[in-house]
Structure 1
Amino acid sequence: MSLPDILCIGSAHWDLIGHTAHALPAGADVPGTVSRMPGGVAFNIARALAREGLSVALLAAVGADAEGEGLARAGATAGIDMRFLHRGTATDLYLALESQGALAAAVADARALEEAGEAVLAPLLDGRLATPALPFGGPLVIDANLPEAVLDRLAASVRACASLRLAPASPAKAPRLAPLMGHPRAVLHLNRAEAGMICGATFPTSLAAAEALLEAGVRRAIVTDGALPATDGCALRGLLQACPPAIVGRRATGAGDAFLAAHLAAEHRGAGREAALAAALAAAASLVSGDLSP
């Protein structure tokens, strides 16, 4: 079997998501629906890239249990190369509550990924995908669910020829990506809140956030802001803005993953900045509106 063109490195777990059309104040007990599906930032992006017809493999940690086997099967069925998974003792879980189409709260149990540590990167070192002397040359999608030590190791080992797509995963985890942000071919995908956590500031718009990230030394940052305009900030080509499609939001989990995957797929096929940003915004809107499955 040939090697993949793109690698996604990070989280893979089962998502347990409660959806309700009601408000969800603290202590509320309301009617709604609960869904269980494969998820995780790296898994979601890999699945979306495979849906685009691209060759993609996943580097993640799953358990040597029924849940881990189920994730491996789900990924393979979706067209992801799952040969390089690290097998631990248990499989991670993400629990979220969505109220009126927005995320109300979430808990991520990422113990398997944390315990695996640098073992997740073994295929990049032992010759299955690459070696230190012959690194993987295609795009790497890296999510901040990875432990800080693993992100530090990646920052020390990736070469300038590798293209990086960085996904913060959440505002709290966004600063973990700091060692990789100075890479000359890194593209940082994040929302306005995540940009604020990285910069230690509050930004009124995605444009202000992108400008601050460029001033801090990031070569390219693509900042979203929900239904408000998104900004593609590039140190070499300036700032570009676009508005998302007007939709009725019905779900929230995975929107950023859909955005990143669509943007990477468009640019991988040679699309320009405007077309790639439009494609990414359309993909995220389609997921949030419920028209696109995760």
Structure 2
Amino acid sequence: MWDIIGRHDQEMVAGNDRPGRITRLPGGVALNIAMTLARFDLKPVLLSAVGTDEEGNELVRACATMGMDTTQLYRPKDLPTDRYMAIEGANGLIAAIADAHSLEAAGSEVLTPLQDGTLGSALKPYSGVIALDGNLTESLLTQIASDACFKDADLRIAPASPGKVMRLMPLLTHPKATIYVNLEEAELLTQQKLSDAKSGAEALAQKGATRVLVTDGARQAAFAESGQIWSATPPKVPQMRVTGAGDTFMAAHIAAELAGRSPEDALTDGLAAAAHYVSGL
């Protein structure tokens, strides 16, 4: 989708009308992850729904220019290209609306390359990393949780927002899933108040999550796997932007693990990449 972001350089509250900058950039959870993976010299294949309108054609061209494989995108002729709109201040995200109706309407069509033999099938499942975007519908995420086409994949799962995090419940205990959430999302999934990221990772592990990473803004983040927990604190940087920071963290962590980094180092690498992104550099 396209991200339309309005930013003001001072703190804001709901109802403010302030001067600032408005940008339009390729975005959405899956694409934010893919763009960061491409910066680590990986070549992600995009599976999504993008309209055949001019906005869609422009978005596909932009993705291809950034080094991503766009050949497997589903291009519905009767659906517009999705968009996201947010307002940010120096104190973070003020409000946002995600219009992902075309992705939701496309349903399982976006998964076809993983089912028809192009990238994988039930007889020969895809065995690489798949980054799953929580903007997919709950029914589709439930389907993925039990679909033989995904049984060998290294599933990396991110909620699109706290408002959509409960869609991840069918995949929470998947044996090959890594769940990436912030502290608020961890509280929603566990239905309890959590003091910090470490307690969030512990609580999700107790709920049956195989691998889970919990971030908490500028505070300590935590990674839990096989009864062990690693923690690290992000570098302190000025906050110039917010949207996409969690996706950048997730992608950098994936890239670090694919490069063979240790759990502690991969967590640190992910936080460093997110901090660099937030600083606007």
What is the match of residue 203 of structure 1? 194
What is the match of residue 6 of structure 1? none
What is the match of residue 131 of structure 1? 121
2:33 to 32, 45, 51: 45
1:26 aligns with 2:14: yes
What is the match of residue 272 of structure 1? 262
Amino acid at match of 2:242: A
CA contact (8 A) 1:101 1:250 kept: no
Amino acid at match of 1:74: A
CA contact (8 A) 1:22 1:30 kept: no
Name the TM-score, length of structure 1 as normaliser.
0.92
**Where does structure 1 lack aligned partners over 5 or more consecutive residues?**
1-12
Name the TM-score, length of structure 2 as normaliser.
0.96
CA contact (8 A) 1:15 1:36 kept: yes
Amino acid at match of 2:20: G
2:247 to 248, 257, 271: 257
Offset, 1:101? 5.0
**Where does structure 2 lack aligned partners over 5 or more consecutive residues?**
none
Q: Secondary structure at the match of 1:122?
A: helix
Identical positions, percent? 46
Alignment of 1:7-18 (within 5 A): 13-18=1-6
What is the match of residue 8 of structure 1? none
Q: Secondary structure at the match of 2:45?
A: strand
Q: Secondary structure at the match of 2:162?
A: coil
Distance 1:270 1:143 in 2: 24
Number of equivalent positions: 278
Any idea what the Cα deviations from partners look like across 1:185-223, whole Å, max 9, x if unmatched?
Answer: 211111001101111122110011111001100011110
Distance 2:46 2:191 in 1: 32
Q: Secondary structure at the match of 1:266?
A: helix
Q: Secondary structure at the match of 2:152?
A: coil
Amino acid at match of 1:206: A
Q: Secondary structure at the match of 2:179?
A: strand
Alignment of 1:54-203 (within 5 A): 54-88=42-76, 89-157=79-147, 158-203=149-194
Q: Secondary structure at the match of 2:143?
A: helix
Amino acid at match of 1:281: L
Offset, 1:15? 0.5
1:221 aligns with 2:212: yes
CA contact (8 A) 2:173 2:210 kept: yes
Amino acid at match of 1:213: L
Offset, 1:27? 2.1
Distance 1:282 1:289 in 2: 11
Distance 1:183 1:168 in 2: 15
Amino acid at match of 2:203: A
CA contact (8 A) 2:64 2:70 kept: yes
Amino acid at match of 1:55: K
Amino acid at match of 2:181: L
Q: Secondary structure at the match of 1:87?
A: coil
Q: Secondary structure at the match of 1:172?
A: helix
Any idea what the Cα deviations from partners look like across 1:22-51, whole Å, max 9, x if unmatched?
Answer: 332232111111011010110111111111
Cα RMSD after superposing both structures: 1.1
Distance 2:188 2:12 in 1: 25
Distance 2:158 2:231 in 1: 20
Amino acid at match of 1:259: F
Offset, 1:159? 4.5
Amino acid at match of 2:97: V
Shift in alpha-carbon separation, 1:159–1:69, aligned structure 2, 3 A: closer
CA contact (8 A) 2:125 2:151 kept: no
Q: Secondary structure at the match of 1:62?
A: coil
